[in-house]
Amino acid sequence: MNNTLDRLETTLRVKGGAQLEGSVAAHGAKNSALPIMAASLLAKGKVTLHRVPRITDVSVMWSLLEALGARLRYEGDGTVTIDSSNVASHRAPYTLVRKLAASFDLVGPLLARFGRAEVPLPGGCVLGTRATDMHEQAFRALGADVKNAHGYLIATAKRKRLRGADIELRMPSVGATKNAMLAAVSAEGTTTIRNAAMEPEVGDLVNFLNMMGAKIEGAGTETVVIEGGAELHGAEYSIISDRIVAGTLLLCGATTRGDVTVTNCKPEHQRSLLDKLTECGIDTTTGVDWVRVKADNVTGGTDILTAPYPGFPTDLQPQVVAF
């Protein structure tokens, strides 16, 4: 899968000083697309995904799934089909996984499908050490032996299938919540995840899994309950908009004191940002699937403390500092 960045030169030159005005559409959420692509490994049948962003991370996940034996096809306009029926390997290639932190989302589906997963420890953007202890805690609770060897995390089910468990995360980790759900959907019995991440992308993954036949409740709350054991089938699903991209575009308008409307987005996912922009005197307007910022009368600054959703997202901190 080719992406936009492949066609760019290594140096970008930006000429500033102009107010940004107009309307722009947000693309699908990267942090939904990647785990949902990984979750397609659980389906007995073809998966069709809409609003898949054409970005480097998606290209790496595409290559990972192909390396495992899946067949993928780009249908145009952000639509991707995935057929995982011929996947026969539980070992992800080191060279690809090291390029992408979200490739660790493969552990749960591979463990659920094969009873064993061998995935290199995650790479991608390194902001400090990426701990995997909460992922490992969840897999052990579900009945897997877990060890680290030669740069790989190796998880093996002690029995033929994983078993349901009560899992309490020490912090609401998005990655650990997703991996625990992906492993638990095929486990015997009920799994309860406490202190679960409440990010919209976690809810999007839940909605996709439920569309494939899973039984998961509690998305968007601190407690997620999974009734395991369901056989998952293929599905057609449209990925939610990327709230970080939408927020970045809105901040571009605010920073240049412009007038920008972002469409194809979910205004409720921008609430923490819009509240702060309003405190600065920026006029914000929302519709069903659009947000407008008009920044011709900025009155001052504000204080921001980043926090897990529904708090202010860490991924928007650099952009808001520029504002």
Residues annotated catalytic, as ranges: 125
Closest by alpha carbon to 70, among 83, 52, 57? 83
Q: Long-range pairs for 268-272 at CB < 8 Å and ≥24 separation?
A: 269/200, 269/240, 269/241, 269/243, 270/243, 270/246, 271/310, 272/310, 272/311, 272/312, 272/313
Distance, in Å, from the CA atom of 47 to the CA atom of 81, rounded to the nearest integer, reads 6
Distance, in Å, from the CA atom of 238 to the CA atom of 232, rounded to the nearest integer, reads 18
Distance, in Å, from the CA atom of 246 to the CA atom of 254, rounded to the nearest integer, reads 12
DSSP states of 211-236: HTT-EEE-TTSSEEEEE--PPPB--E
Distance, in Å, from the CA atom of 285 to the CA atom of 293, rounded to the nearest integer, reads 7
Residue 79's CB is within 10 A of a number of other CB atoms, namely: 15
Distance, in Å, from the CA atom of 93 to the CA atom of 64, rounded to the nearest integer, reads 7
Residue 24's CB is within 10 A of a number of other CB atoms, namely: 17
Strand, coil or helix: what is 147? strand
| Residues sharing a CB contact under 8 Å with residue 322, sequence separation 6 or more, in sequence order | 251, 255
Query: End-to-end distance of the chain based on CA atoms, in angstroms?
Result: 35
Distance, in Å, from the CA atom of 272 to the CA atom of 40, rounded to the nearest integer, reads 32
